[in-house]
């Protein structure tokens, strides 16, 4: 089975994680999907398959004879998708892309256009998996799962390919920042790993943002609007003032590359109370600290305008740039580059404008860069995946496994 065929099957599972939940996994649908993956893993010849009580899926491809002492290499992807976009009732379709707009839903007038998404032009002459324009696709990260299991099936079906022990892991709740929280490193027992959770094929990602968050609470004063002069403090309007104190050019929609941002993810409010949630990101740790300080400077200014206690800003740090770990293992990047070239691709180092399970796992002791999966426009209704690039991503996994068969620790 080809990787794209697996993706089409997998997107039928509505596996959005839920930040409001305190369970692990945060939604039962992820565990249902994990159980289905376990059955498929057994069918393709993967050994020691299990799903644990937290919904983490593990499996092993034993080493080829004589390669038992080779490094143990892992491949990891996550099962959940985001909840911010409709994620149920996904209707994928495969189209041959010859350029121009792709009609996703002519009845609703929804088109996927290279004018808005110029990366489509790199896929001319290939086949794309798209949605009907009303849901996400789920390529983040069901692409990665599909590619790992496609590579695994190839390896178990071709015993002449020499490789060391290969570990496979699928995590829940990555999209809400909890994917590595209960990952059993001792059970996984890999020396190194790769997450398959990137975008365009050929990407090799060894650095992420440093990450922080801010929770803002605003206390207003509600009175009858007819007698509000000099008395009312409208918490919703104060929230707008607070947001306006942060740099407008440092919002996600205005940044790229190594530029960090302030991202207002949630806002709710009335006259009496308002709350805001921000995520703060920067590849440079000092610049991230500046962003946290800016939040508190804006807090001080609002309290100066409206009185002490009007606003409280609780901030904290979430994860660090994994570069400081990965740079100690340059062979991980070099090996990925070689594998990508050998299947006809052009490797490219990309700084992740986000986080991955690999970031957390790297700091937990499992060096884990990230590879591109042939998916685009993640977390939105215009998400799509490239069939041929998914094939190449699966081939890269096989190549990496081969290369580590003779690698000396």
Question: Do 26 and 123 belong together in one domain?
Answer: yes
29, 80, 140, 141: the active-site residue: 80
- DSSP letter for each residue of 133-191: SSS---HHHHHHHHHHHHHHHHHHH-TTS----EEEEEES-GGGT-TTTT--HHHH--S
Known catalytic residue at 80: yes
Q: What is the CA radius of gyration of the chain?
A: 23
Q: Give CA–CA dist 180/128, Å, rounded.
A: 31
Asked if 302 and 311 touch (Cβ cutoff 8 Å), the reply is yes
- The dihedral over CA atoms of 307, 310, 316, 318, expressed in degrees to the nearest 10, equals -140
CATH of residue 216's domain is 3.30.70.360
Q: Give CA–CA dist 386/201, Å, rounded.
A: 9
Helix or strand (DSSP H, E) at 401: helix 387-403
Q: What are phi and psi of 202, to 5 degrees?
A: 100, -15
Residue 350 has pLDDT above 90, yes or no: no
Of 264, 285, 318, the residue that ends a domain is: 318
Question: Do 309 and 339 belong together in one domain?
Answer: no
Question: Do 308 and 186 belong together in one domain?
Answer: no
Chain segment 247-300, per-residue pLDDT in tens: 999 999 999 999 999 999 999 999 999 999 999 999 999 999 999 999 999 999
Asked if 336 and 347 touch (Cβ cutoff 8 Å), the reply is yes
Of 318, 346, 363, the residue that ends a domain is: 318
* Domain hosting residue 336, numbered range: 3-208+322-404
Known catalytic residue at 174: yes
141, 174, 357, 383: the active-site residue: 174
pTM score, two decimals? 0.89
Helix or strand (DSSP H, E) at 314: strand 311-319
Chain segment 6-32, per-residue pLDDT in tens: 999 999 999 999 999 999 999 999 999
Mean pLDDT of 306-322: 95
């Amino acid at each position: 089975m080809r990787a794209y065929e697996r993706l089409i099957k997998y997107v039928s599972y509505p596996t959005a994680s839920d930040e409001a939940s305190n369970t692990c996994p945060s939604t039962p649908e992820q565990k249902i999907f994990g159980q289905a993956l376990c059955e498929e893993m057994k069918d393709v010849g993967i050994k020691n398959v299990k799903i644990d009580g937290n919904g983490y899926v593990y499996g092993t491809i034993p080493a080829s004879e004589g390669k038992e002492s080779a490094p143990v290499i892992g491949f990891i992807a996550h099962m959940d998708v985001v909840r911010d976009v409709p994620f149920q009732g996904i209707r994928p379709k495969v189209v041959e892309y010859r350029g121009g707009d792709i009609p996703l839903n002519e009845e609703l007038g929804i088109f996927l256009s290279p004018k808005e998404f110029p990366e489509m032009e790199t896929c001319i002459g290939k086949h794309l998996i798209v949605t009907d324009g009303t849901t996400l696709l789920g390529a983040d990260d069901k692409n990665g799962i599909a590619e790992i299991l496609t590579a695994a099936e190839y390896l178990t079906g071709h015993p002449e390919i020499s490789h060391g022990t290969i570990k496979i892991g699928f995590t829940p709740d990555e999209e809400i920042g909890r994917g590595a929280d209960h990952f059993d490193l001792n059970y996984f027992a890999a020396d190194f790993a790769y997450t398959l959770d990137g975008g365009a094929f050929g990407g090799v990602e060894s650095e992420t943002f440093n990450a922080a968050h801010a929770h803002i609470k605003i206390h207003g004063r509600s009175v009858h609007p007819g007698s509000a002069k000099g008395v009312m403090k409208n918490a919703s309007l104060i929230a707008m003032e607070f947001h306006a104190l942060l740099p407008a050019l440092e919002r996600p929609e205005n940044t790229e590359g190594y530029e960090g941002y302030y991202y207002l993810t949630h806002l709710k409010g009335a006259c009496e109370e308002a709350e805001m949630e921000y995520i703060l990101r920067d590849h440079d740790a000092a610049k991230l600290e500046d962003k946290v300080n800016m939040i508190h400077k804006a807090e001080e200014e609002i309290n100066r305008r409206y009185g002490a206690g009007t606003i409280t800003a609780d901030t904290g740090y979430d994860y660090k740039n994994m570069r400081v770990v990965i740079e100690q293992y340059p062979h991980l990047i070099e090996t990925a580059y070689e594998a990508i070239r050998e299947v006809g691709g052009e490797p490219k180092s990309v700084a992740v404008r986000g986080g991955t399970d690999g970031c957390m796992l790297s700091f937990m002791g499992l060096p884990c860069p990230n590879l591109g999966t042939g998916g685009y426009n993640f977390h939105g209704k215009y998400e799509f995946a490239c069939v041929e690039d998914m094939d190449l991503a699966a081939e890269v996994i096989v190549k990496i496994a081969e290369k580590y068969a003779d690698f000396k620790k």
